[in-house]
Structure formats: structure tokens, C-alpha cells
Chains A and B, each alone.
Chain A
Amino acid sequence: MWWLALCPATTGPAAAAEADALLPWALQFTPRVARRDEAVLLEVQSSLRLFGGAAALRQRIEREAAELGVARWAWASTGLGALALARAGAPHQRRPLAARLDPLPLAALLGTDHPDLPTLAHIGCRTLGDLRGLPRDGLARRFGADLLQRLDEAYGLRRESYRWAQPAETFAARLELAARVETAPALLLAARRLLLQLAGWLAARQLGVTAFTLGWAGEAGEAPGELTVRTAAPSRDAEFLARLLGERLARVRLAAPVDRLQLRADAVQPYACPNAALLPDAQQQREQAQQVIERLAARLGVQRVLRPLLQEDARPERQQRWLPADAPLPRAAAQGDDGPHPAYLLDPPLPLSLRGGQPAYQGEVLALLLGPQRVEAADWPPDAGAIDPGGAPAAGSPPASASALPADAAGTAEALAAVLPMQRRDYWLARGASTGLLWVFRAPPDTEPARWYLHGIFA
């Protein structure tokens, strides 16, 4: 049995709230977590192997506990013994438990406000060793069985029994800041504490979070604000969530100095951690591609990290759609066609100047090599834009007049043309001396003077 006792920094009624806040975090290390007096007790004997040994577990817990505001802690082989050592602030020693507990003052075990402390001081009993030396039946008769029971439990002579804490169904944590914070990026330091608790709660419940909300408020609740961060894949990693939050906070402006923070998990999913490999691998230091993409989207903006989706259409600018990369892509049911497609497509098409009747680009007259490829399309469905959503919609080509249809057109085409504007373009493969192979079109095809546009580049 190996116990850890954590005493929060504050005293008084606020200490109870702080200790309660530690419970979700502590539950990721062991299911045996209990509250006793003002402290939190953990029993970690069965978790040593999972966390890589006693030394590794100790280092990790002590580092995270310091971040969470725990003032004193102690390790011992009984719960009450660890609590007494933590209250007294004794340094860690490798000695038998009795030898460590004997020199401690009585207040360490009984608490500073125990009613029997003055009486015991009168009879010359100042340390726990003295108390242990008194006759047991006399102690029980004079001070009650409860005192004797505590003493026995601390020295390991009697078994302790606790009601273990259970992880809550939802996660919502609050934090009062020690000093008021003016700028949003400085909130990240305090938010890390809350994120550590969130990570602990997720680990205890075997969940991953996909959306969480950080809320803040000034004194007396003035100027409240909040920020919601979403991820595409569930995650449990406090470092990753802190980095995402940091990127988003860098663009937030606070209306008033902030005094208190609140974190709640909005959307969680069952999530199993990836298995660790037996041998350490340098590749494992790198992150998943999805996490990197989310970080890019957080800093550059959601509309600037994009993935394409193929669509069925005859007009080139409608054959693809660019969607934000951090959301999962819908499955594309479209298949491409065999026509020549350039590697770049300008959006919107660039009007070209004419030189001697020929289109010219960048000061060079273009040689038309191959063509024409006629693309006629009605503007149906209505233009949703090539970049979705919020990007600049693809500029429409000048609509042709409906009366220019050839005489052998089917009746449906005429009927359609009467109600919808038709676009007609003749595509040509062109070549410029220093600009490479270009894809230009002439729209409308039959009018004079010719209007040429550059649409794509075969790079």
C-alpha cells in the first residue's frame, strides 16, 4: 500500500473547494481516491506498473500537483500517516513509518482545532510518540475511542476504510485567479490548470473531448466572455489542447480585466489511447497529421487550410470545392472526366488583352495550339461559390444571350435557355514563350470584338 496525501495551499472553506477540484485530476492515476479532512488521499500501489514505476509516477504527480496549486504532499504506507506527514511538512525519508511519525506534533494527526489538544499538552504529551506511549485503555476512557482509532490507523495497526470518489458525469471546473489578468494570452497560464483537470477527468472516464468552452468574467461577473474550441478527432492530451487554446486566445481581446475562469467540456466521445510501443521510437515524437492541421487552422484561419472535394459539372470552376481541412470531408460521389485539366485554375478568370486580334498575356502574344472545346452550361444550381463558405464566389462569365442557340438545339435546351442565363465558352490550349501552357477561353464565342480570358495553367 502506498499512499499520497495532497494538501491544498489555501486554508479555510476555500480549501474544501480546491480539494474537490483536485479529485477529477487525481482519478486518472488510480480509482482509489478519497477526501479526508481538507486533503485528498490517493492509493497508487496498483498503478505503479502502468505509469512506468514508482519514480516516474512520483515525478509526474508531483509536477502536475505543483501546477495545480498543491502546497504540501507526502508519501507513506498508510493514509492517515501520509496526511500527518503532509500537514507537518516533513521531508521524505526512507525510514520505517513509526520512526517518521513519532517526532510529529499532535496537531499533525488530530488537526489544529481538536478539543483535546490543550489537555494533552497539560499532561506533557506533545508528539505522536508520546501519545503512543500512554496506556491505551486510559486513553480510550479519557478521550474517547475515536482518538485511539485515528492513532491506530496512522501507525498501520488498524485498516482504514474510505468511500472512494467517483468521476462526475460532466466536467465543469472553476478557478479564481490570484491577480487580475488584462490580456488574453496571459489567461493561458491559468487555463492550463483547468486543462490538466480536464485531461485527468477524461482519462478516468476513458473519454476524449471534441469541444470545450473556456469562460471568463471580471469582478462581480462583469464583462463575461467565452471561447469554444473544437477538434476534429477526440483528444485527451492536455499539451495539445493547451496549444490549440493558446492559438485561439492570441486573437481574443478582453473587454475588462478578468478575475475568474471556468472550463466545461461540451462534447466528449469514447476514446481509447493508442497503445504504447515496447521500444521507444523517434517517430513517436511526431504528432498526428490531424493535430498539425488543426494547429495550422487555428493560427492561419479556418478558411486558409483547405481540402478539395470533386464535383460533377462541365464548368471547370464547379468541378471542385475547397472545404476547411479540420472538419471531416464528405465522401465524394463524383468521378472526374477525361478532358484536359490544368493544374492551376484561376479564380476568377483573368481577362486578356488583345494584340492584333490575338490574346496576349504578360506582354506576349499567345499561340493557340488546340481547340476549340465548347462548354455550354446554364447557371444551375445557383452559384454557391467555388470556395465554401465565405470565400469569394467564382465570378460568372458574361452571360450569352439566349437567342444565339444553334437551330438544331433540342426543345429542352431552348426552354432552359429562356429562363436561365447560358454560359458559352470555347476553350483553347495556348502557349506563351515564357509563361508555358495556358488554358484560355473565349466567351461569348461568336461576338466581335473577341473577349479572351485566362482560366488555367498547365504547370
Chain B
Amino acid sequence: MSALPAVLHLPARLQPAVWRGSEVGAAAGAVRRSGWAALDAELPGGGWPVGELVEVLCPRLGTLEWRLLAPALRPQGDADAADGPLALVGPPHPPFLPGLLACGLTAESVLWIRAETLAERLWAAEQMLQTQATGRVLLWLPQSPPPQALRRLHARAGAHLLLALRPASAAADASPAPLRVEARLGPGWSLQVKVRKRRGPPHDRALTLPALPAALQRACAPLALAEPPASPLPHLDEAGDRRVPAGLSAAGQTSRPAAAARGLPVTASLAPAAPAGAFADNRHVVARFVSRDDRARRCG
């Protein structure tokens, strides 16, 4: 929060609009926690601002938005329990409900609007911003909209969380959004996030945020600690077993030297009882989550 001299007493609603260049400013309204303390420290107000247009730039739409935004989009405990609808306007691929449930969203709030053209996307987003409840609008804009359209959206954001997802090539375009964040895939399971435009000093170093997809956290907890292989691996190991790629074999077993040198993770503890048990009821379906070490353990 900027500290103004006592002689300048601004009304409360103008206070966030004034900040010193060396300090990160405040958000004009409420904020939603982003889920990472490092990112909250860099965002004005300590989170994603509600009631303003926020732009998220990704190198390719459809690769990382849920990993970045799921902690902010799920109902946050102390906030209003009756959140409005979550509108997905023009996502690049059809959303998958079990995956969204794993992100912490509720099925009743999800609304998929299949808008195709740029005009339809902008119009649908504007209509969803006119609802009474405090909702969340996720708008994918692969095409470049005219700046006055973005200004309209920003002006009508009201009490909604409005996130516009645009390709990274739009970073060079002028935009009326007060907050622009660029995210890309980082090494391992992380995302690299840089704040391109905000009320505050320029953001110098990119943040590396650990971001395991929410759906994998329950099934694969140990993966959060280890790094996945960074480059493609050879397919077959000497045993000729096509099931398991060489890189995932336990340490000490025969594998390609390059893979062993990297100290790859062991997936031994991978098989919690839940996946096998959940499918036990379906008579006509057999599904099991198998890893090499699990089979080895079972066979003796």
C-alpha cells in the first residue's frame, strides 16, 4: 500500500489508483489468492484483482491455464460461498468435467460457451459480466481484439473475476488491462511466470512456481518432489518389455546409461489402493493402474 503525504487525503476509492513508482500498488477492489505466495507478492493487492481485466499470455493456448489459475478459480473458503457461474468462453478444446472437479470447481457452476468468432467471444463475455452474482469469466482470445473492445470489457467487469487468455505474441500490442502476466512452461513440473504490466515497478526476474496439475496430485504425490525427464527417452529397454519406458525403471535395474545418470524417479509408491478399488464395482470393465515395480512386488 503506498504511503501518501498527510496533506494529500484522497477519497477511499481513489487511493488504489495512486502509487509510488517504487512500490507495488494496491488493487481497486477485492482480490483472489493465486495460490503461490511468491506470485501474490508480485501482484498488486496480493492476488488476482476482481473487477478488472487481467490478461494472461501463454505461448500456446490450452497448455497451462488450469495449472496457473485453478487455485484462484476454486471457491475460496472465506469468500462468498455462493459464487456465481464460471463461464468458459471459447476454450481451445472441450473441457473435461472430472478434470475440472479435480481442480476444485463444482459441476453446477461450470458453463461452457462455444463461441467461435471474435465477435461472439467478446459479446458472450460481455453478457456474462452483466449477471448479478459475482462470477468468474475465462475468455480465450486467439485473435487480436480491437483495443476498444477490451476497454469495454474492463469497464463492465463489475464484481467479476475477468481473465483474458491471449497468445504470447500479443505482448507487443497495447492493452487497457491494468495487469498482464506472461506464463510459460518451466523445467520439470513448474511454470515460469513474469508480470509484464502492473501498477508498480517492472518485474525483473521470472518466477518459477511449482505447478503440478491438480488431477495428478492425488494419484501421483511423489512426482511433486522429483523432476520428470526433460528429453525424450528411448522406447525399449533390453528386456524388450514394451509396457514400461526405460526411464521409469527403478534405480539399480538395467537401463540406458543416460537415464540412470539422471537419477530418475521411482514410481514404486505409485499405486494407492484407490484406483484399483474404485473400478472394482464395474463388472464389465477392468482398469488397473500398473507400474513395473508394483507388478514386481505382487509377483514376489
Contact = CB atoms under 8 A, between A and B. Distances in A.
Interface in B227-281: 228-229, 231-233, 235-236, 243, 245, 247-248, 267, 270, 272, 274-275, 278-279
Interface residues of B, number: 79
Interface stretch (B9-17, B110-118, B173-181, B195-203): B110-118
Contacts of B112: 305-308, 322
Contacts, number: 223
A376 B95 contact: no
A337 B275 contact: yes
B93 interface: yes
Interface string A288-304: 11001101100110011
Contact of A288 (B97, B110, B131, B289): B131
B180 to A, nearest CB: 20
A283 B80 CA distance: 15
Contacts of A283: 132, 159
B213 A437 contact: yes
A308 B97 contact: yes
Contacts of A319: 96-98
B127 interface: yes
B144 interface: no
B215 A343 contact: yes
A307 B100 CA distance: 13
Nearest to B133: A289
A391 to B, nearest CB: 10
Interface stretch (B31-39, B46-54, B62-70, B145-153): B62-70
B222 to A, nearest CB: 11
A344 B124 contact: no
Interface string A212-223: 000000000000
Contact of B215 (A299, A305, A340, A376): A340
Interface in A269-292: 283-284, 286-289, 292
B22 interface: no
B215 A292 contact: no
A372 interface: yes
B84 interface: yes
A343 B66 contact: yes
A377 B133 CA distance: 42
A456 interface: yes
B287 interface: yes
Nearest to A376: B286
Interface stretch (A153-161, A168-176, A177-185, A361-369): A361-369
A380 B284 CA distance: 9
A309, A336, A341 interface centre (most CB from chain B within 10 Å): A341
Given A292-B127, A338-B274, A434-B59, A332 B107 contact: yes
B219 interface: yes
B216 interface: yes
B234 to A, nearest CB: 9
Contacts of B133: 289
A320 B283 CA distance: 20
A338 B275 contact: yes
A26 B135 CA distance: 39
B288 A373 contact: yes
A376 to B, nearest CB: 5
B60 A435 contact: yes
A310 B108 CA distance: 10
Contacts of A305: 111-114
Contacts of B231: 367
A374 B295 CA distance: 14
A86 to B, nearest CB: 41
B220 A340 contact: yes
Contacts of A385: none
B218 interface: yes
A339 B131 contact: no
B278 to A, nearest CB: 4
B132 A287 contact: yes
Contacts of B120: 300
The 7 closest A-B pairs by CB, nearest first: A345-B96, A344-B93, A436-B63, A341-B98, A320-B97, A341-B99, A343-B99
Given A288-B132, A358-B232, A370-B270, 4 more contacts: A325-B111, A340-B215, A458-B213, A459-B66
Interface of B: 59-60, 62-67, 84-85, 91-103, 107-108, 110-115, 120, 123-124, 127-128, 130-133, 135, 158-159, 185, 213, 215-216, 218-220, 223, 228-229, 231-233, 235-236, 243, 245, 247-248, 267, 270, 272, 274-275, 278-279, 282-291
19 contacts: A287-B130, A292-B127, A300-B113, A308-B95, A308-B97, A308-B107, A314-B285, A314-B287, A316-B96, A337-B278, A338-B218, A342-B213, A372-B290, A373-B289, A373-B290, A374-B287, A436-B63, A457-B63, A458-B99
